[in-house]
Amino acid sequence: MELILNILGAIATIVLAFTVGMSYGGIVRKITARVHNRMGPPWYQNFIDAFKLAGKTTAINHGIMQHFGPAFIMVSSIVSLMIVPVLNGGGWFENLNFGGDLIFLLYIMVFGPLGMALGAGQTGNPNSAIGITRGLSQMVGFEIPWVMALVALMVQFDTTSIVDIMRIQNESGTWMMFSSPFAFIAAVMAMLGMFRYSPFDIVGAPTELASGPVSENGGKYLLTMMSSGSIFAFVKLTLYVDLFMGGADNLIILVLKTFALYMIPVLYGIVSPRYRTEQSIRFFWGWPTFFGLLAILYAVFV
């Protein structure tokens, strides 16, 4: 019985993440349009796109890895969703919250991109490979400030468990973003790269690389990548809320907090041009790393 309930809870979490992630995607398109002084598509546009992609034929493949690539990235998204606590106290969305810690999460989160890189590699399109080398290089860039922020958190709370970090924040009543501001700044700057909005969107530059890694994937492949991307966006936002904003007590607060956070990369992206890869790497190793160092010093000495 308990097993069935657990499975139901897991499915509910996935549905929630999918819905929220896809809606956010649509809302972002709407907001971008409003900033451009356009009407923009309706907020549910991404659902329509997904539904259409599901109905599209997938007539060709370039080999077995192209099938496994989207599966890899979906697995990575779902497993990291299972580990990240959605709400304070777990409840329906508890899943595997106690099974892993921050370091485990860091590694499982790169499982997907690497799998997708393999899938895109097999298509043989040179543009895909170029996009992937850019993506992986950029990842090395933003992981440094991100890990520095996480290390600062671990030092400050003396634990690597996400659940414990949330509990301590709730007990003390101070959000991490106020008690450890430098870590928050470093993490948010890393987040700009993580979401791949401008200025860090050279990975899938549409006209230069023909959308890069996904250039050979249409139909169901694209659908899987799109939905896992939405789930992944939700996971990342929830993780940030858990770590820096004390988690959420119910779904409404969660949506408000994640949406507020999400606006940072989105709004920064709308008004930004595009960096070259080495420029973006150097950006991440500049101020964000400095703030990361400050965060660690702050956590050690204060």
Rounded to a whole number of angstroms, the minimum distance from the CB of residue 250 to other proteins is 26
Q: Which stretch binds other proteins (CB under 8 A): 16-24, 51-59, 245-253, 256-264?
A: 51-59
CA 60 – CA 137 distance, rounded (Å): 30
Planar angle of CA 250, 251, 255, nearest 5 degrees: 125
CB neighbour burial string for 23-37, b if at least 16 within 10 angstroms, e if fewer: bbbbbbbbbbeeeee
CA 202 – CA 204 distance, rounded (Å): 6
Nearer Cβ to other proteins, position 118 or 264? 118
Rounded to a whole number of angstroms, the minimum distance from the CB of residue 256 to other proteins is 27
Q: Residue 125, interface with other proteins (CB under 8 A)?
A: yes
Choice from 5, 11, 15, 124 touching other proteins (CB under 8 A) = 124
Q: Which stretch binds other proteins (CB under 8 A): 179-187, 215-223, 246-254, 256-264?
A: 215-223
Rounded to a whole number of angstroms, the minimum distance from the CB of residue 55 to other proteins is 4
Cα dihedral: 177, 183, 189, 191 (round 10): -70
Nearer Cβ to other proteins, position 113 or 261? 113
Planar angle of CA 229, 66, 80, nearest 5 degrees: 35
Task: Tell me the CA end-to-end span of the chain in Å, nearest whole number.
Answer: 48
SS3 97: coil
Among candidate residues 178, 188, 137, the one with its CA nearest the CA of residue 291? 188
Q: What is the DSSP annotation of 251-263?
A: HHHHHHHHHHHHH
Choice from 28, 86, 87, 132 touching other proteins (CB under 8 A) = 132
Site for other proteins in 166-205 (CB under 8 A): none
State the number of binding residues for other proteins (CB under 8 A). Answer: 100
Q: Residue 61, interface with other proteins (CB under 8 A)?
A: yes
CA atoms within 13 A on the CB side of 144: 17
Site for other proteins in 223-252 (CB under 8 A): 224
Q: Residue 31, interface with other proteins (CB under 8 A)?
A: no
Choice from 130, 255, 264, 294 touching other proteins (CB under 8 A) = 130
Site for other proteins in 63-122 (CB under 8 A): 63-65, 67-68, 70-72, 74-75, 78-79, 82, 96, 98-101, 103-104, 107-108, 110-111, 114, 117-118, 121-122
Q: Residue 12, interface with other proteins (CB under 8 A)?
A: no
Nearer Cβ to other proteins, position 63 or 91? 63
Q: Which stretch binds other proteins (CB under 8 A): 16-24, 38-46, 187-195, 264-272?
A: 38-46
Q: Residue 8, interface with other proteins (CB under 8 A)?
A: no
- Other Cβ atoms within 10 Å of 263 Cβ, number: 13
Rounded to a whole number of angstroms, the minimum distance from the CB of residue 122 to other proteins is 5
Rounded to a whole number of angstroms, the minimum distance from the CB of residue 247 to other proteins is 17
Distances (CA, A) of 295 to 73, 149, 193: 31, 7, 19
Residues sharing a CB contact under 8 Å with residue 207, sequence separation 6 or more, in sequence order: none
Rounded to a whole number of angstroms, the minimum distance from the CB of residue 139 to other proteins is 7
Tokens linked to 176: 């991490």
Nearer Cβ to other proteins, position 57 or 173? 57
